[in-house]
Amino acid sequence: GAPSPSPPPTPPPPRHHADGQTPPPLRFTGAAHFRHRLVLSTLAGRPVRFTSIRPVAGAPGLSPPEVSLLRLLDKLTSGTRIDIDETGTAVAYRPGLLVGGTLEHECHPGRGLGYYLEALLMLAPFTKTPLDVTLRGATHTTADLSVDSVASVSVPLLRRLTLGRVAPALRVVRRSAAGFAGGQVVLTAKPARGPLPPVELLDAGLIKRVRGAAWANKVSPGYVNRMVDTARGVFNALLADVFLFADAGRNREGGAGYGCSLLAESTTGCLLVCDWAH
């Protein structure tokens, strides 16, 4: 019969001492690189502990988006233990098994959905089951990548780095302005099978086309048309292959705002992106 498919790559189990106990957690002071350290802890199965998180700030301790990220990681895993002290200035994170699966999560609008999507994309190749995640929150902010940039750059990059094995896809259901939780996206991905080969991305190439999306919500559609005409007026002087998608919505929960996301693709497949939102 046909050989059975190889299992997805899984992070190495936590290292143990000679007595079989899990080693003490890695300790960090402050919340620098908080998201990336949580992702690496989840992949390595190594517990971490953060102390002195903004102890003298006006709002000491973990920020609401960071707490929301911890809850999202808890949903993605099985057996994870999270301990936060009363002041929120110390947190212990002991990761469980990275399962994946189908889930929904309300993201705090203090950070854009790109803040949460980037963490999910780093974990997607190593889940036990395929991902089907629905996130609700702010789709466009000034602090994070917009969902359009994640869909047009981060998702294709992950597909390229895994040679198409993960096959991630991001669908934008509703858009929202910064500070409003009315936006919604759906991320799907399947775990990679077998070891991931090395990939070289060295030649930037020359820009051959420009794509983009101009959006507006609860404001005049004329804002979208003006952004499209202005962007095309600049790029058409350099390139003939320029196309911008216009999206004027009326999402009641998305707040009033408008913005633009532009993508440049080179002859070697490299992608450059920029966001602007108001």
| Residue 92 half-sphere exposure toward CB, CA atoms < 13 A | 7
Distance CA 216, CA 253 (A): 13
Look at residue 184 in the predicted model and tell me its pLDDT.
95
Weakest-pLDDT range from 3-7, 56-60, 96-100, 272-276: 3-7
Look at residue 54 in the predicted model and tell me its pLDDT.
92
Look at residue 221 in the predicted model and tell me its pLDDT.
85
Go through the domains of the chain in sequence order and give each one's CATH number. Answer: 20-98 (3.30.1370), 207-277 (3.30.360.20)
Q: What H or E segment, with its residue span, contains residue 44?
A: helix 34-44
Does the pLDDT value for residue 23 go beyond 80? no
Distance CA 220, CA 246 (A): 13
Distance CA 260, CA 245 (A): 10
Tell me the backbone φ, ψ of residue 131, rounded to 5 degrees: -90, 140
Look at residue 20 in the predicted model and tell me its pLDDT.
54
Q: Within a 10 A sphere around the Cβ of 22, how many other Cβ atoms?
A: 14
Task: Name the CA dihedral angle for 244, 219, 180, 170, rounded to a multiple of 10 degrees.
Answer: -20
Look at residue 16 in the predicted model and tell me its pLDDT.
47
Look at residue 15 in the predicted model and tell me its pLDDT.
46
Q: Are strands 26-29 and 48-51 parallel, antiparallel or unpaired?
A: parallel
Does the pLDDT value for residue 194 go beyond 60? yes
Distance CA 277, CA 274 (A): 10
Q: Please, what's the largest Cα pairwise distance for the chain? A: 69
- CA distances 172 to 2, 18, 25, 152, 254, Å, are 38, 49, 38, 11, 13
User: What are 113-169's pLDDT values in tens digits?
Assistant: 999 999 999 999 999 999 999 999 999 998 899 999 999 999 998 988 887 888 899
**Average predicted confidence (pLDDT) for the chain:** 89
- CA distances 183 to 32, 122, 140, 173, Å, are 27, 22, 9, 7
- CA distances 78 to 68, 95, 134, 191, 242, Å, are 17, 8, 19, 17, 46
Predicted TM-score of the model (pTM): 0.86
